[in-house]
Amino acid sequence: MPRLILLNKPYGVLPQFTDEQGRPTLADHVPVKGVYAAGRLDRDSEGLLALSDDGALIARIASPKHKLPKTYWVQVEGIPTEEALQRLRDGVTLNDGPTLPAEARRMEEPDGLWPRDPPVRFRAAIPTSWIALTLREGRNRQVRRMTAAVGFPTLRLIRWSIGDWTLDGLAPGEWREVTVPGRTSAKAPSGNTKAKRPRTATSARRRT
């Protein structure tokens, strides 16, 4: 049976198992042999990363042709206008071409969100806010480039969901194994449970 692991990747961790420079990698958090990341989540981004030992499943999750929705919680500098959000929904033109239409809305700060280490650097005179952005493609640093293109640079980026899988119940560095859709599996959820679990929820109502 193929294995599917969901990890809450901490900030600063590379989405790979080895690094010649000795930087933190997935091996520091997932002691499972033979699994690989399904797509990327940049070192300076946090949140949900799927890993599997099944090449077809990895392709299904990672390949843009399957248009699997991925939702990000994005803390931006400034307060996006409705016009800026509509530009994200319609698609913006980047240096590698126009993006597909996205789902974008203002949201309150996620309830119980863990502090980032190191903390985000803020400019005292400029407010920050959060948006939920759902994409169905996966270009290099796409979220950051999209928010910058509409005038609101990304300060913190957390991937909340991939398809129906979410971060719910996973603190940074924690992982669990889940059943592959359409397959039967007797594997029980597992993973590191030492870290304090955040009080994340799927509700759209979150505090600021």
Catalytic pick from 19, 42, 44, 168? 42
Check if the beta carbon of residue 37 is closer than 8 Å to that of residue 59.
no
- 42 has catalytic annotation: yes
Check if the beta carbon of residue 25 is closer than 8 Å to that of residue 14.
yes
How many residues appear in the chain? 208
Positions marked catalytic:
42
